Amino acid sequence: MAEAQEGYDPWNAKPVKSGKRRTKAVDIEADEPDAPEALPTAGENFTSEVQTIAVGQLRAFIERIERLEGEKSEIADDIKGVYAELKGSGFDAKTVRAIIRLRKKEDHERQEEQAMLQLYMDALGMS
């Protein structure tokens, strides 16, 4: 990627809008009298198109991830709010988190984990 696209900032999540759009893969300045009439060969044109597609695809992936990260952040804030309500109603947030963690597991996984916990506690004389 020898040439940067005008109006594109790779470090900014939001694309920069500009009034001018590039429509050709090769720009030749008409005012330059010594500019060669260099047209890309079929191989060069194909490579350029593939690189353009790959860059566009990469940019689309990054923008999708950034959008999802924003949604994830909003959902995390909502969950924090629910835990605050829960705590305000007199429930123990730590215990509720443990219950939610256990409910995500299959019954056999949960039973195996509890059996191992009990075994270790018995071995340490904690039961």
Identify residue 73 by its one-letter amino acid code.
S
Number of domains in the chain: 1
Q: Do the Cβ atoms of 81 and 89 come closer than 8 Å?
A: no
Counted residue by residue, the chain has a size of 127
What DSSP character marks residue 4? P
Q: Find the largest Cα–Cα distance for the chain.
A: 92
What's the confidence (pLDDT) of residue 2? 47
Answer yes or no: is 22 within a domain: no
Identify residue 39 by its one-letter amino acid code.
L
Task: Taking residues 17-36, report their average pLDDT.
Answer: 50
**Domain limits for position 115:** 45-123
Listed in sequence order, the residues at least 6 apart from 63 whose beta carbon sits closer than 8 Å to its beta carbon are 13
pLDDT in tens, 40-86: 555 556 677 777 888 989 999 999 999 999 999 999 999 999 999 99
Answer yes or no: is 27 within a domain: no
pTM of the predicted structure, to 2 decimals: 0.52
Answer yes or no: is 1 within a domain: no
Answer yes or no: is 40 within a domain: no
Whether the per-residue pLDDT at 19 is higher than 60: the answer is no
Answer yes or no: is 76 within a domain: yes
Answer yes or no: is 6 within a domain: no
| Integer Cα distance of 88 and 86 in angstroms | 5
